Structure formats: C-alpha cells, structure tokens
Structure 1
Amino acid sequence: MAVSEGVVKKIILSYTYVAIWIFLSFTVIVYNKYILDRKMYNWPYPISLTMIHMGFCSSLAYLLVRVFKVVEPVSMSRELYLSSVVPIGALYSLSLWFSNSAYIFLSVSFIQMLKALMPVAVYSIGVLFKKDHFKSNTMANMLSISLGVAIAAYGEAKFDSWGVMLQLLAVAFEATRLVLIQILLNSKGITLNPITSLYYIAPCCLVFLFVPWVIMEYPSLRDTSSFHFDFVVFGTNSICAFALNLAVFLLVGKTSALTMNVAGVVKDWLLIAFSWSVIKDTVTPINLIGYGLAFLGVAYYNHAKLQALKSAEAQKKAQQADEEAGRLLEEREGEAAGRKSETNE
C-alpha cells in the first residue's frame, strides 16, 4: 500500500509540474510573439528581449539567494562552474536568442510544428553523449518524425527559410542543453533547485548575449530611439519568463527531459489551435497532415521510452527480490550450520 501511495503521489506531482510548465510556456510564447511581431507590438529586438528576461531572472534569483536567503547557494568550485554551468548558460542563451528571433519570421503554429523535431535532436545528442543507446528501430522512428515535419514545412503558407533555420538552430541548442542539464543534475552529483539554477545560469546567459547585442541591436536601438521601456509590458513579460525558467528546471529536475517532450506535444497542439483560431494564422491541410505524422512518431517514441522504463524498473525489482532471497538462504544455511556445530559439541 505504501508503494502504491508513493506511485500515486509521484504521478500527481508529475502532472502538476507538467500543467504548470504548459501554462507558463504557452503564455510566454504568445507574449513574446506579441512583442516581437512587426504587426503587433512591433519591437523586433529578440536579443534585447532575452537580455531583459535574463537580467530580471538574475536580479530576482540574487535577491532570493543572497539577500532574503530563501535558499542556500551551492558549494561549487571554479573548475566545476566553468565546465558545467557555463556551457549550459551558453547553450541556453543561444536557444533563447534564436527561438525568439524565429517569431519575427514565422507563425506560432508553424514554429510549434518545427519543434516536433525536439525528440529527434534529444535522442541524437543523447546517443552522442552516451546517455542513450543507438537502436535502428528508434532511428527509423526519428526519420518518420522528420518526414512529417518536412511535409508540414512543404505545406506552410508563409514559409521563410531564414526563420526555419533560426528555429532549427534553437531546437539543436535546446536539445543539447536538456541533455547537459541531466548530466549536471545527476551524473556530477550536484543538486540545484530552480532558484539556484537561475542564480548560476542566468548571469551566464546575460554575459554571452552582451556581445551580439552590442554588435547587432544596440546601434539600431540607439539610432532609432526604439528602446521605450514599457514597464507594464516588459515587466509582466519578464515575470512570466522567470516563472517559466523555474518551471523548466523543476520539470526536468523532478521528472526528465522525456516528460518535458511528452508535455511539449500537448502544448504544441494547444498553440496550433490558438494560433489558428485567435491569431488567425494560416494552417493548411498539408500542415496538419505532416504534423499529424510527426505527432504519431513522437507518440510512439514516448511510448517506447515509457515501456523501456517500466521494463528496467521490473528488472530492478526482480533483482532486489533475488538478492533478498539469496540473503535469507544464506542466513538459514548459517543457522543450520550453527545448530549442527552445537550438536557435534
């Protein structure tokens, strides 16, 4: 009964983390699209927007850790920080930069279709980092997902090659970051809660984004006086971004990157429906056919991963049972030998 209650509690918590992440991710995506799109708020500066987010996250995380002492900082050597946190910060900054840039050129619905490639990228990079095993049937499934996304791209009414390239780069950097987070949290024995994760990683993102910002966006902002800081828009947007960052680290840290991918499929369908019905983006039948094929491939991949996890858990329990039986047998043999020794005496 205790095991069953523990499993139920774990499932409820996992669904709670998923629901929070879907809601916040949905909100940030639509909000960022609103700010960056030239036909809406018309502020097409993705690096600047990302830096505002990271500056806000860094400041708030610093206050929570150093001033209000809500959580304790993690003891971390300079070498470990440079080898673990800095690469994740660099990948995170690139992922956010390119992902936000794509909203200027592509519709919300098409971006979500391209994000269906995330399991392909996560699996491929997981194999590269030896966090996953190469299997021919899994790779065939990855190819079916890629084919579905290609069909969806073929049917896109407002296809933009530059926007597609930016989004694909964002997917590649995000997948690498997710795998490295698993390595950072698990393999190296470091425990980071959501606040300390932002405390260490957000400043790295801010530093990495500063150089491209100075080169690419600062001159335009300076010359056109486009940086009118709307505290309501950028403030609430930054709060949503901060909450999403906490939710991402919480979801991956408490569950896995696989769970995040499964939740991402649900979120993508919701965003496609919202983009078509509310934002009035064009969604063609070929779009839906292609994404439907990719969706089936993602669903099969996630099902296979779940079955593999269940099989591994069953094998672990069977091994524990065998070890327990062996231990009891040894104890009984020892007791029998002791009684025989007493009889001989």
Structure 2
Amino acid sequence: AKFIGSMKKETQLPMSDSTAQGFLWNAIWLLLNISMTLLNKSIFVHMDFPYPITISMIHMICTCSFSKLLIKYGKYPVKDLTAKQHRHVAAFSLLFCANIMMGNIGIKFTSVAMSQVIRASIPGITMVLSYFLLGKSYTIKHLMTIILVISGVCLATYGDLEFTTLGLVLQITGCVLSSCKSVTASKFLVGELKFHPIELAYRMSFYAAIQMFVFAAVLGETRSIVDNFWEYDLRLAGILLTNGMMAFFLNFSNFMFTRLTSALTVTVSGSLKNVLTIIISILLFRTPISVLNGAGIVVTILGATLYNFVSYKYRK
C-alpha cells in the first residue's frame, strides 16, 4: 500500500533538451541491442564458437580499450577516486559482468521466445528496486503502462515456450541482475559521483574484463579455445572484433540513455527491443506468427509508447 500510495506523488521534473537527446540515444541503443542479440545468437549457432563468457570478455576488453582512447584523445575528465569508491566500481563491474554472462549463457538453454517472456518482468522489478534503492516515486499511470508492456511481451512470445530448468533459473537470475544493474548505473551517473558515461564504461569494463577472464579459465572455456585454436579462421576473428566494437558502443549508449532518462525508462525500452527483435526475426527467417502473437506485439509497442507519453507529461 505504501508503494502504490507513493506513486501518486510523482515529482515533476523540468523539461530540457535532454529529452530529445534521450530519444536519440534510445534509438541508437535499440538498434545496437537488437543487432548484438542476433549476432551473438549467430556466433553460438553458426560459427561453432559456444563460449559465452569469452565473448563477454571480448566485449569488456573492447569497451575498456575504446573508452581509454576516447578519454586520452577526447580529453574527457577523469575523477580521482578514493579506495572506497574504487571498491564500489569493482562491485558494480561484478554485477555488470554477471548480468551479461547470465544473458549470454541463458540464451543457450532456452528458446528466444521463452527468454523474452521471462525478461518481460524486468520493468516491474526495476520499478520496485528504484522505489526502494533510489527513492523514486511513480504514478498509477506508470504502473498501468508497465503492466501493459509485460502483458504484451508475454502474448507476443506465446506458443514457443521451450526451456530447460537450468535455462529458466539462469534467465530469472538474469532478470534480477539486469534490474539491479540499471538501478546501480543510474546511481553512478546521476548520484554523488556523476560519472561521464565514457569514464563509467572505462572503469567498469576494466574490472569486468579481469573477472570474466577468471570465470572463463575456471569454467574451462579458455582451455577449450586453446585446444581448438587452429580450427578458427580470420573470418571468425573479424566477427568477434566487430562484435566487441558493437559492445563498446552499446555500453556507451546504454549509459548515455540511463543518464538522460531513468533506469525504468531503459528497461521499458528493453521490453520494446524484445518485441522488435521478434519482428525482425519473423521478417528475416519467415517465421509464422499467430493472431495472438501479433496482438502482443501491438500491445507492447502501445504500452511502451504510453509509458514515454506519461513520462514526458510529468517531466514537462
């Protein structure tokens, strides 16, 4: 009752040019996110490279490298952090690392449709976490649009719900981690430290790359890659490098989007991304679609549109 009651007391924020920038970074983030999802699945299935943790490590190495170059030559300011603040960044990188790995590993054990059904719960989880951890308050209209988005994704993916118990556990864990990551990133970007997205990407990815290397070694991926090293060609290397470069731009656009909007807005866009991915998959692979699936796609897009309209109204 306290949570619902507080939602009636929405703080009205002043509107600025950041809204237009937020929509721009939203579009960039959506495009990169969909492309990355399809490319990762293609690498697992068609490139005979079933190493999700190693792919995640490549993402972090590229993010760290390109961020460092931008900091050095783009003259982005870097803050002097205390030992305690470094520990906070390292802890965030571990959360970020776990979120990415759960997503990449989970997609190997569930169908794309089942994955989207489970991840439809992320906006709801993020709303609750934002209330308790960030002190955010939302209106009843916000709550109704979130319910609409979640319902739409479930309808859009109904009918292809193949999964394993392990895949289900991994996906649910990934949902919680994704929500925690979005809320924590918001604290770093607009909280006390107010990191520039480039600096946060650099600091986070540096620690995350080391963590993922350790995980890959412990879980046997590194050994398997070394044993099969001569079976890989330059084409795969080029695709992995391209994948890593896309990951850098994806992480940067994610932080810019979060900085200009909110953690909840990012997760609502994530739900819209899930449905757009389904639409693109249908067009590319000529997948048959039922009336129920089509209705779900329409409902999700409508819910995301209404959410953005409600957010715009209360920021005006």
Please say whether Structure 1 and Structure 2 have the same fold, judged by a TM-score greater than 0.5: yes
Please, what is the CA RMSD of the aligned residues? 3.2
8 Å contact kept, 2:145–2:303 = yes
Larger radius of gyration: 1
2:125 match: 121
Question: Equivalent pairs: percent with the same residue?
Answer: 24
| 299 and 51 in structure 1: CA distance in 2 versus 1, 3 angstrom threshold | same
- Name the residue aligned to 1:323: none
Give the 5 Å matches for 1:47-126. 47-66=53-72, 68=73, 70-83=75-88, 85-126=89-130
Of residues 256, 259, 273, the one that matches 2:262 is 256
Gap runs ≥5 in structure 1: 1-5, 311-345
Cα contact 2:179–2:267 (8 A) shared by 1: no
Shift of 1:173: 0.7
Partner of 2:282: 276
Instruction: Give per-residue Cα distances to partners, 1:260-305, cap 9 Å, x unaligned.
Output: 2343343223211111221355655555566766666666666655
Q: Quote the offset at 1:46 in angstroms.
A: 0.4
Q: Which has the higher contact order (CA 8 A, sep 6+)?
A: 2
> 1:309 & 1:227 partners in 2: Cα distance?
55
* Further displaced range: 20-29 or 216-225: 216-225
Aligned ranges 1:99-248 → 2 under 5 Å? 99-133=103-137, 155-188=159-192, 190-216=193-219, 217-225=221-229, 228=232, 230-248=236-254
CA shift, 1:33, in A, is: 1.2
Match of 1:30 in 2: 38
User: For 2:203, what is the secondary structure of its paired residue?
Assistant: helix
Give matches, 1:298-313, under 5 Å: 305=311, 307-310=313-316
Judge which range, 114-123 or 151-160, deviates more.
151-160
For residues 104 and 58 of structure 1, the distance between their equivalents in structure 2, rounded to whole angstroms, comes to: 26
- Number of equivalent positions: 300
In structure 2, the gaps of 5 or more residues are 1-13
Report the TM-score, using the length of structure 1 for normalisation. Answer: 0.74
Q: Letter of the aligned partner of 1:249 in structure 2? A: F
Whole-angstrom distance in 2 between the partners of 1:18 and 1:152 = 22
**Structure 1 pair 73/103, CA: closer, same or farther in 2 (3 Å)?**
same
2:10: which partner in 1?
Answer: none
From 27, 33, 51, give the equivalent of 1:19: 27
In 2 relative to 1, CA 267–128 (structure 1 residues): closer, same or farther, beyond 3 Å?
Answer: same
Residue 187 of structure 1, CA deviation? 2.6
Counterparts of 2:159 and 2:242, CA distance in 1: 35
Could you say if the C-alpha distance between residues 211 and 234 of structure 1 is closer, same or farther in structure 2, counting changes exceeding 3 Å? same
- Encode CA deviations 1:28-48: one digit per residue, 9 max, x unaligned: 1111111122xx222111000
Q: Give the 3-state SS of the residue equivalent to 2:120 in structure 1.
A: helix
TM-score by length of 2: 0.80
- Measured after TM superposition, the shift of residue 134 of structure 1 is 8.5
List per-residue Cα deviations over 1:198-237 (Å, max 9, x = no partner).
2110012112223321121223324444873633111111
Instruction: Give the conservation status (yes or no) of the 8 Å contact 1:88–1:177.
Output: yes
Q: CA deviation at 1:86?
A: 1.7
Distance 2:280 2:104 in 1: 18
CA distance 1:76–1:94, shift in 2 (3 Å): same
